[in-house]
Structure 1
Amino acid sequence: MLFDASRDDVISVATLNRMARQLLEGGLPPTWISGEVSNLTLAASGHAYFSLKDGGAQIRCVMFRHRLSQAGFRPAEGMQLELRGTVTLYEARGDYQITVDTMRQAGLGRLYEAFEQLKARLAEQGLFDSAAKRPLPAHPRAIGVVTSPAAAALRDVITTLRRRMPSIPVILYPTPVQGEGAAQQVAAAIRLASERAETDVLIVCRGGGSIEDLWAFNEECVAWAIADSVIPVVTGVGHETDVTIADFVADRRAPTPTAAAELVSPDKAQLAAQLEQARRHLYRALARQLTDKSQHLDFLARRLSHPGERLRQQQERLRTARANLARLGRENIRRKQWSLDMAKTRLLGCEPGLAIPARRVQAARAALEHAMQSALADKSRHLARLDGMLGAMDPHAVLSRGYAIVENAVGRAIRAPAELADGETVTLRLAEGGTEAVVRHPSGTQADLPF
């Protein structure tokens, strides 16, 4: 809302400054401005505060951290800049200033524009994706370096590698790093290293310089060579404030060549310290295990005895058991004897009451013996009578008077001559043995034969 001077409204300073800010931001579009940097302050927050001046005037500028990090360099006192931003007013102090969106060194607008365009195009093609970044090997077998043989960066890299891990071989892929055609040669050196695949990691580096000096690392051919490399690539181009397209494509960016060498190489001192720590841990673990095993061995040794000793112990236990058994037997016999003596004592105490039953038993025994003798005599007389009767009826008794019993072949007694056939063999049973005879019938019929 604009202030109407025809009215008698009174406004605050804050309201005035807010209205002025709205007028400036709404009336002046973002534009490019050139001038010289002065009164520069780089705050701990990462923001940059400075004045941009020329021969006739100056204006306060602020560039916030997230914008400054994308500029690719840091402003310095006296530096000629071309910056683009929004004209505004800082309401708290009423300071008229520019909020800077981007900046470039004066005279290099074309290069920065080309830089931003290439950066945007490669980002759309996925060359900057973090998912495509490869991890660096923890213990590379060989390290490749793409740089100029005469560059101070090469000496810094080699010095650092020798200090940290001198056992790792370094292979140089020499190439110019600035001047006409340098970008194509840097790209060719990267592709050569990738084709040979004789190193585990590749450092692409050069020392500091102006944006023109570093421009070979902002070319698209170098970016694609890094992206196509089968070997992880670490860039160390310029100083910490220098940022190139190669840095965005590389798997890791180091602020300097020395830092790149530190990134790709293990520190032998640190490894030695880790090894010593591991050795101490292993020694303590082995010592503890040895102690435990020794104690266990002593325990087993106490349980283990010689066979002869075990036999002696068994014999001793057998003797003890035998003695205990004998003692228990004697004690058992003594207890039984005591019980028997007690029973005898009780029996003797009851003996006077047994006299009458004993006499009765004696009388019963005598009566029983008499009855048995009488019964036996009766049975003997009856047996003699039966024996006499049996003897009278025994046919063998008749034989003793000269008679004989005639039996046929099956042992049946013959009663009549008709039961025998002429010529049949018969047995004659006599009082004293027997004999055989053959039957001969006399003339006439068998029925007429006399006995």
Structure 2
Amino acid sequence: MIFSPSPPPDDVISVSALNRLARELLELGVPPVWISGEISNLTLAASGHAYFSLKDGSAQVRCVMFRNALTRLAAKPREGMQVELRGQVTLYEARGEFQINVETLRSAGLGRLYEAFEKLKAKLEAEGLFAAERKRALPSHPRAIGIVTSPAAAALRDVVSTLHRRMPSIPLILYPTPVQGLGAEQQIAAAIRQASARSEVDVLIVCRGGGSIEDLWAFNEEVVARAVADCRIPVVSGVGHETDFTICDFVADRRAPTPTAAAELVSPSREQLLQRVDQVQRQLERALSRLMTDKAQQLDFLSRRLVHPGERLARQRDTLKLAEHRLQSRIRAILDGSNRRLASTEARLARLFPDLGSQHRQLDQLGERLDRSMARLLAECQRRLARCEGTLTALNPNAVLARGYAIVQKADGRAVKAPYEVVRGERVTLRLAEGQTEAIIDPPQTATQIQAELPF
């Protein structure tokens, strides 16, 4: 290990030289190392550099990560994040502060506080305490505003000054409580419950200024979240700066990025209301002026239309006479038309009126003709029926069978018409006039066989 030569003990050196010598000793004596710890007091500067403390259970060290190294990270560092970082141990000469220039870092799991934050957040969200439907609207013109914070907090001064500037007529009620330290969460919850029980304000601001995650931790406790959720008064959470989020923010009816913004949320602006009143007054004046002008013009127009009652009656008499003449002409025209239509209808009825005597005679003749035709048709049908009956009787196979004939049928019911259609030994059915019987086919004997069998 190589160190730069130290100055002689009798020489007097400046502070700058001392810090430079210490920085060189640190950078030469301690090579870049990997260090694990939890990020705290994180600040992302406008220049793009990140400043934070890396701590464990018993110590902490300042760290800086410059923009070029920060942009190479896949995930940006977060407050409470447990990390492993590699950096050069050095000393910031301008302030004489021991620090680590971080080259890179990687996540080593969530920090204890951050892990507890996420666990409680997930629990309360599952219970529905963050649901949008349970959020209440803030009153547009509150009669009184309550503030839950420390009397010594700078946030109280910001809120009070903002409320007095915007609407000095609204009374303010402070529910004092510590906002950090041991047991602060219990006292904050008690102040919220007290405001809810007294119900003397229309909206409640829970606020404090910015700080590290440890400073704001009282607002991440479950007892505070439960008190906000149970509060009967709409609650606005204004804890920390714009980048700070607490469990109280999620449970509250509205979240404000800062205490000042919370005061602006709950109070109407006196200047804006006065401007609105002036605007409405000007609109009313213009509308009234426009109405008066329109009514004056309407009055002039009506005055030109106004005439003497006698003249109006004379005009109405002339109009009535004209209407009477037109009515009489119309009635005469209607009566003449009706008379013409009536005469035409009577003439058509006279032409179309039937001769009942002639119709009766014609009907009798048609009846006689119908009787004669039906008699002839019936006789003809009887003759045709007799002929069909004779034909059916002649063609009836049962009549043939009655004379001693038989019908030979095969097993499938077909009639045998020639000897070659059957074979020896085949069983056939003989259909007779009175029933049926079965037989077996035996071939006929020859003439020689017949002579041999004769007895003579």
TM-score by length of 1: 0.48
TM-score by length of 2: 0.48
